[in-house]
Amino acid sequence: MTQNAIAEKILAELQSSAYWGDHTKRSDKYITGLNCPECGEPEAYAYSERPDKLYCNRRNNCGAVVDVADILPGARINFEEDFPATAEDKNRPGTTYLQSRGLNKSLEGLDYKYWSDVRKTGSGAVMFPIKSPSGETVYNGRLFDPPDGEGKTHNKGSTSGCVWRHPGFDDDPTKETFVTEGIINALSLIEAGHQAVAILSSNQDPEKVDLSSYKKIVLAFDNDPAGHKALKRFKSYLKGQQHDYIKTILPIHGDWNDLLLNGKLEPLTFEKDRVEYATEAHLACASSAQEYARIWYGHRNLTGLFDFNGAYYFSTLKGNDLKDVVCQQVSDFTLRTVYYELDQSNPDEPVYRYHLEVKAKSGHKATFTVIAKELSSPQGLRTMFLQRGRVSWTGEKAPSNELVKLILNSKAPVVRQLHIFGYDRESDCYIYRDHMIDREGRMVMPDKNGFFKVNSGKYIRPPYHNTLKPSEGTDVHFLIDQLYRAWGYKALVTLAWVVASWFVNQIKDQVGFFPFLSLYKNSQTGKSNLTRIMNLFQCLDEEGIPMSKTNTAKGEIRKMSQRSGLFTALLEWPKDWRQTRLSLGFMLPIYNKNGLQLRALMTNDNRTHETPFYGALMFVQNNEPFNTPP
């Protein structure tokens, strides 16, 4: 099975989707004119041989990069199910996985194994045998699709001191040899025509790793804090071993495999970009903030805010020479934008909040949400960081403006804050506190931040309303039979209405109204039990709202407005409706497509705000309250 089989599966899903439009054209290299999932314009493209990502060409206005599997679940590749092992090819899932990483020529003579259910994670892996310094065969490899919280790397046996070399190629000691951390990265460079080996971990001790046979070493580790530390250690050690040829590079925007998949390792492109990769490594190896600032300006002609050794510095050019670049420390922390929270409870005045994670140089972390006012001045920043993060910001106007830009220009996701639970019109999903039902009817769990991903780059933060999480294994037929035995056909009519109420918004869009349900009978006939069971069906552990003067009308209205595609039960409406704070007159309009309440906004113009009603009503009482023609 080849990479073409993976591409064709994804292409089939794309062609049958709304993203493939009248303007879409396919050539040997590109698929152009695709409808962008983010901005909707027909200006997205994909690579014909690797259509797993869509790239929007509107870089100034959109520029989205979207995983096709996130927007078309049918395009998701399950290497073990789609390309299972056979008696003739026991390593087939592993081969297909490697091909999906853009590896083809480098698979010639490669020794690898497919292992299933590694670490009992449910995910298989491709594993590579390696001879350890003691002569023992150990294994290092990568899981295909590890669950959250599980690392993607797997070892069997100690890899201390190990160096992976491609068994199908004879090493040339006089040729430039790229030293990477992972085997996939080494294979990516080999695929591009380079000689490469892997040390398997950034934690390797340079003294235990034998690279003495290679005369021209290029250290090419991962561009992360662990990779930076490994780069410094190996560079220092190799220099001490009198290696004459030691160069350093770090990948930008991903790892070497990402660059291979994006065409950045093609010979001409790689040579052109190699200066930038070398600059990235020089910056990682800088011994002081002053040295960092001079490298930064000397190679990239940049000054401004940068992070070094766990703190922010601000550099400026005071003259015309590198020696005139000066910098000052302006914080004792670094930060990242975790997400942008979008509150659209008032559609005319959307509000963004900024959820930050601060890591102090001393080691402690803090996460908190800030508002625009706190970011609008150096004093606001100083106060906010002291209060929320127990860290210090000393930057004045210029560095403060740079820090705000850093917060605003992050690639963190925009998370839409919901204030209504149940049906969400924008995503077409049903959102509860601890689970979501997506458009395909699948139950989705929140991520580690408590968010639901509805498509690429779009997340939802649910409202905090106590709801129940459905359990699996319920015998629906038995349950319906028990309802019928207890309440007869009235229970079945009630259940049918409850199921219909989950689609109240769609039904109102079609016919303009949705009926109420009235359950009335003498006391002690089981109305409360039936109502509680119906609430359980919509993930709520309650009976309803008692209609009494102890409640406020505003509270009852807000309670009803919190639910969408769900019903609210109103309990024991008294014979004399004047004994409640909520007038019966409010009901007739919401039977049709109207809101619960209309009020004027505190503005000088004529704007108003309508409290929406996206649910349905069930009345539960001993006496029938509907005794007027309306």
- List, for residues 341-373, the tens digit of each pLDDT value: 988 877 778 899 999 999 999 999 999 999 999
d(CA 245, CA 182): 22
**Of residues 5 and 127, which shows the higher confidence score?**
127
Spatial neighbors of 447 by CB under 8 A, at least 6 apart, are 148, 453, 459
Contact 19, 37 (CB under 8 A): yes
- List, for residues 386-432, the tens digit of each pLDDT value: 999 999 999 999 999 999 999 999 888 889 989 889 999 888 899 99
Q: What is the mean pLDDT of residues 108-112?
A: 97
d(CA 431, CA 219): 48
pLDDT of residue 412: 87
Please state the pTM of the whole predicted model: 0.76
Contact 60, 47 (CB under 8 A): no
Q: Is 487 exposed, middle or buried (0-12, 13-18, 19+ CB in 10 A)?
A: buried
In sequence order, the β-bridge partners of residue 128 are: 140
Examine the pLDDT at 628 and tell me if it is beyond 90: no
d(CA 183, CA 435): 37
Q: What is the mean pLDDT of residues 307-321?
A: 91
d(CA 343, CA 311): 32
- List, for residues 226-263, the tens digit of each pLDDT value: 999 999 999 999 999 888 899 999 999 889 999 998 88
Percent of the chain residues past pLDDT 70, beyond the cut: 94
- List, for residues 155-200, the tens digit of each pLDDT value: 999 999 999 999 999 999 899 999 999 999 999 999 999 999 999 9
Least trusted range by pLDDT, from 330-339, 436-445, 597-606: 597-606
In sequence order, the β-bridge partners of residue 68 are: none
d(CA 121, CA 146): 7
